[in-house]
């Protein structure tokens, strides 16, 4: 498993992302109306999908933490929020750049863009909250509550283009996208998924190491991994 | 002359087709790759020092 | 109460709050109050309210309505509810260069003011793209489109296609 994370997954990710982007930038035809600018789709859309996925993972981890306390889910929630926020911010930047030539503006307060902005602010707040609370136990519970309430934004962002009138178009489907464009999008999305998992794993390791260092008293929480905790806490003590 | 100008303007805007724009495409991919590299570096800088490979 | 039970209650409470918030936004009438743009028929039916405030008008550029003035500084067109020739429409005047994708029958959102004379003066003209992405049809070459259209007129003012 460790070998796969260290070598296999990065290689697979780079391969898929490189292949997908090559397909998108070179192999795929330009759009009839948008021309070559449409190629931004192969980076913007996977970024947004992975942002949503990571933030959903943050929600699942937060709920799981509250139901069954474990530093693992708390660390996973922290990792997923940070990675999701990074992907979401990039998605918003690439979207704004795409908006300039097509819509004529970088930004407009349409429902999709506004709800996305609120979403990013919410997850920024979540990460700031985590920094400010010293007690790991309190931090985990409070941030889990913020994560659950913040997750309301996810369906709102997703459905905003259907519920309300917006400048942003509604979701495309394979029916509205030519097959030569669907293939690069799929490949790039799987590459982006690999990248997200890779980032998540490494960020999770950082978070779990921090938790273990913070929790000086082994009996503070039921341990997930007694051997590891014992070694860590003895080091701290 | 007038016909010429109107043709030029039409060529620029009335066509309903986007021309060029590779700069925007390059900016999107460039910013994303740069951010991925920076984030990877930050993850590496924050890596757990003690026995990082024996985790999991 | 044990911390575990307390946390479960916290989880339940947070989920309830989240669910209620979502339901409020999804099924409440927020959409009626937060309207990103008005359609031409809505604008015409409450004309008095629409005067002088900055509003957005969204619709489709009516076929055959695009007109430039002599110097090509002012663009006038009609924004209609849909592409049918008989649908209601509003006269729009714009002083800025529209996005390249601007054409007849494309969706647009304009920001500006509507006056008593029935003219909507736009400060901002945005084009909205559909969710369709298609390869060029047989014989169409998007990168050369401009050259065929402006045959002989391609001068420095025309942005060169950036394709390598």
> Which structural domain, as residue segments, surrounds residue B30?
20-47
For all residues of chain A together, what is the average pLDDT?
89
Question: What pLDDT, on the 0 to 100 scale, is given for residue A22?
Answer: 95
- Which of A131-135, A165-169, C14-18, C147-151 shows the lowest per-residue confidence on average (mean pLDDT)? C147-151
- CATH code assigned at A205: 1.20.120
How many independent structural domains does chain A possess?
1
- Are the CB atoms for C15 and A145 separated by under 8 Å? no
> Which structural domain, as residue segments, surrounds residue C97?
36-128
Report the alpha-carbon distance of residue C60 to residue C39 in Å, rounded.
9
The alpha carbon of B6 is separated from its chain's Cα centroid by a whole number of angstroms, namely 33
The answer on pLDDT for A69 being more than 60 is yes
Over its length of 164 residues, how does chain C's per-residue pLDDT go in tens digits? 677 788 888 888 888 888 888 888 888 777 666 788 888 888 888 767 778 788 899 999 988 888 888 777 888 999 998 878 788 889 999 988 888 888 888 899 999 988 888 889 998 999 988 888 888 876 666 555 444 443 333 333 333 444 33
Q: Which residues pair with C107 in a beta bridge?
A: C60, C128
The answer on pLDDT for B50 being more than 70 is no
Nearest-CA distance from A98 to chain B in Å? Answer: 7
HSE at residue A215, side-chain half, CA atoms within 13 A, is 27
The answer on pLDDT for A207 being more than 80 is yes
- Whether C20 has its CB under 8 Å from any CB of chain A: the answer is no
Q: Which two tokens stand for residue A195?
A: 């990248």
In A1-113, the DSSP E strands lie at none
Query: Which residue in the set B5, B8, B16 is minimally distant from C101, CB to CB?
Result: B16
- Are the CB atoms for A63 and C13 separated by under 8 Å? no
Higher pLDDT, B56 or C8: C8
Question: What pLDDT, on the 0 to 100 scale, is given for residue A123?
Answer: 96
Which 26-55 residues of chain B touch chain C by CB within 8 A? Answer: none
pLDDT bucket at A237, cuts 50 / 70 / 90: very low
Contact A163 C31 (CB under 8 A): yes
- Are the CB atoms for A66 and C12 separated by under 8 Å? no
Residue B53 lies in a domain: no
Collapse the DSSP code of C123 into the 3-class scheme (helix H, G, I; strand E, B; otherwise coil) and give the result. Answer: strand
Question: What pLDDT, on the 0 to 100 scale, is given for residue B11?
Answer: 47
The answer on pLDDT for A152 being more than 90 is yes
pLDDT bucket at B33, cuts 50 / 70 / 90: very high
- Are the CB atoms for C57 and C40 separated by under 8 Å? yes
Contact B14 C66 (CB under 8 A): yes
Q: Which residues pair with C133 in a beta bridge?
A: A177
Mean pLDDT computed over A212-228: 61
Kindly list the residues from chain B whose CB atom is less than 8 angstroms away from the CB atom of residue A44.
Answer: 28
Kindly list the residues from chain C whose CB atom is less than 8 angstroms away from the CB atom of residue A155.
Answer: 22, 26
pLDDT bucket at A218, cuts 50 / 70 / 90: low
Contact C26 A163 (CB under 8 A): yes
Please state whether beta strands C119-128 and C89-94 pair in parallel, antiparallel, or not at all (unpaired).
parallel
Chain C neighbours (≥3 Cβ pairs under 8 A) are A, B
| Per-range mean pLDDT, top range of A124-128, B9-13, C30-34, C79-83 | A124-128
Question: What pLDDT, on the 0 to 100 scale, is given for residue C161?
Answer: 42
**Cα–Cα distance list, C152 to A165, A202, B34, C141 (Å):** 42, 58, 42, 18
Helices (H) and strands (E) in chain B, counts: 2, 0
- Are the CB atoms for A112 and A168 separated by under 8 Å? yes
Interface residue of A33, A122, A140, A158 to substitute, partner C, most C CBs within 10 Å: A33
Residue B32 lies in a domain: yes
Report the alpha-carbon distance of residue B44 to residue B52 in Å, rounded.
11
Kindly list the residues from chain C whose CB atom is less than 8 angstroms away from the CB atom of residue B25.
Answer: none
Contact B19 C154 (CB under 8 A): no
Question: What pLDDT, on the 0 to 100 scale, is given for residue C157?
Answer: 38
Any residues with CB less than 8 A from the CB of C18 and at least 6 apart, and which? A148, A149, A151, A152
Question: What pLDDT, on the 0 to 100 scale, is given for residue A226?
Answer: 52
Mean pLDDT computed over A132-155: 92
- Which of A222-226, B8-12, B31-35 shows the lowest per-residue confidence on average (mean pLDDT)? B8-12
Contact C146 B17 (CB under 8 A): yes
The answer on pLDDT for A83 being more than 70 is yes
Nearest-CA distance from C147 to chain B in Å? Answer: 8
Mean pLDDT computed over A54-83: 94
Report the alpha-carbon distance of residue A115 to residue A221 in Å, rounded.
37
The answer on pLDDT for B16 being more than 70 is yes
Interface residue of A167, A175, A180 to substitute, partner C, most C CBs within 10 Å: A167
State phi, psi for C156 to the nearest 5 degrees.
-60, -25
Mean pLDDT computed over A86-98: 96
Question: What pLDDT, on the 0 to 100 scale, is given for residue A76?
Answer: 96
Collapse the DSSP code of C26 into the 3-class scheme (helix H, G, I; strand E, B; otherwise coil) and give the result. Answer: helix
- Name the residue among C127, C146, C103 with its Cα closest to residue B7: C146
CB–CB contacts below 8 A, A to C? 137
> Which structural domain, as residue segments, surrounds residue A143?
2-236
- CATH code assigned at C61: 2.40.50.140
Higher pLDDT, C5 or A84: A84
Query: Which residue in the set C4, C125, C136 is minimally distant from A104, CB to CB?
Result: C125
The answer on pLDDT for B56 being more than 50 is no
- Which of A5-14, A104-113, B15-24 shows the lowest per-residue confidence on average (mean pLDDT)? B15-24
Chain A neighbours (≥3 Cβ pairs under 8 A) are B, C
Q: Angle at which helices A179-214 and B22-45 pack, to 10 degrees?
A: 20
How many independent structural domains does chain B possess?
1
Question: What pLDDT, on the 0 to 100 scale, is given for residue C35?
Answer: 81
Residue C164 lies in a domain: no
Question: What pLDDT, on the 0 to 100 scale, is given for residue B1?
Answer: 45
Residue B52 lies in a domain: no
Collapse the DSSP code of B17 into the 3-class scheme (helix H, G, I; strand E, B; otherwise coil) and give the result. Answer: coil
pLDDT bucket at A2, cuts 50 / 70 / 90: confident
The answer on pLDDT for A49 being more than 60 is yes
pLDDT bucket at A224, cuts 50 / 70 / 90: low
Kindly list the residues from chain C whose CB atom is less than 8 angstroms away from the CB atom of residue A180.
Answer: 135
Contact B20 C163 (CB under 8 A): yes
Question: What pLDDT, on the 0 to 100 scale, is given for residue A223?
Answer: 53
Contact C100 B10 (CB under 8 A): no
Mean pLDDT computed over A46-50: 96
Residue C144 lies in a domain: no
CA angle A63, A65, A70 (to 5 degrees): 165
Question: What pLDDT, on the 0 to 100 scale, is given for residue C132?
Answer: 86
């Amino acid at each position: 498993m460790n070998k796969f994370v260290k070598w296999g997954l990065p290689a697979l990710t780079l391969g898929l992302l490189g292949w997908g982007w090559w397909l998108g930038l070179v192999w795929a035809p330009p759009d009839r109306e948008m021309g070559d600018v449409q190629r931004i789709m192969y980076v913007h859309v996977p970024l947004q999908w992975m942002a949503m996925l990571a933030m959903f993972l943050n929600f699942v981890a937060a709920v799981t933490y509250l139901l069954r306390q474990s530093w693992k889910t708390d660390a996973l929630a922290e990792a997923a929020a940070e990675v999701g926020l990074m992907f979401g911010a990039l998605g918003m930047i690439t979207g704004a750049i795409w908006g300039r030539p097509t819509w004529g503006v970088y930004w407009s307060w349409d429902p999709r863009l506004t709800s996305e902005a609120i979403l990013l602010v919410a997850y920024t707040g979540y990460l700031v909250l985590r920094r400010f609370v010293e007690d790991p136990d309190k931090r985990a519970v409070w941030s889990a509550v913020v994560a659950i309430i913040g997750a309301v934004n996810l369906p709102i962002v997703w459905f905003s283009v259907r519920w309300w009138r917006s400048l942003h178009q509604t979701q495309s489907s394979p029916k509205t996208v030519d097959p030569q464009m669907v293939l690069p999008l799929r490949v790039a999305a799987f590459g982006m998924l690999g990248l997200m998992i890779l980032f998540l794993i490494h960020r999770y390791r950082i978070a779990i190491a921090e938790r273990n260092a913070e929790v000086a008293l082994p009996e503070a929480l039921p341990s997930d991994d007694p051997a590891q905790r014992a070694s860590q806490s003895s080091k701290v003590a | 002359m007038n016909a010429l100008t109107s043709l030029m303007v039409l060529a620029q805007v009335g066509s309903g087709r986007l021309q060029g724009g590779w700069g925007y495409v390059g900016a999107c991919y460039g910013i994303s790759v740069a951010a991925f590299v920076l984030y990877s570096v930050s993850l590496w800088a924050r890596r757990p020092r003690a026995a990082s490979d024996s985790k999991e | 109460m044990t911390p575990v039970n307390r946390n479960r209650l916290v989880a339940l409470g947070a989920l309830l709050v989240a669910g209620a918030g979502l339901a409020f936004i999804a099924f409440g009438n927020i959409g009626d109050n937060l309207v990103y743009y008005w359609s031409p028929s809505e604008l015409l039916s409450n004309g008095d309210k629409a005067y002088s405030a900055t509003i957005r008008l969204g619709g489709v550029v009516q076929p055959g309505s695009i007109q430039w003035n002599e110097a090509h500084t002012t663009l006038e067109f009609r924004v209609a509810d849909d592409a049918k020739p008989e649908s209601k429409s509003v006269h729009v005047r714009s002083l800025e260069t529209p996005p390249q994708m601007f054409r007849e029958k494309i969706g647009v959102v304009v920001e500006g003011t509507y006056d008593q004379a029935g003219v909507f003066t736009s400060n901002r003209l945005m084009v909205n793209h559909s969710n369709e992405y298609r390869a060029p049809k047989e014989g169409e070459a998007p990168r050369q489109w401009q050259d065929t259209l402006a045959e002989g007129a391609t001068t420095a003012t025309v942005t060169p296609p950036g394709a390598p």
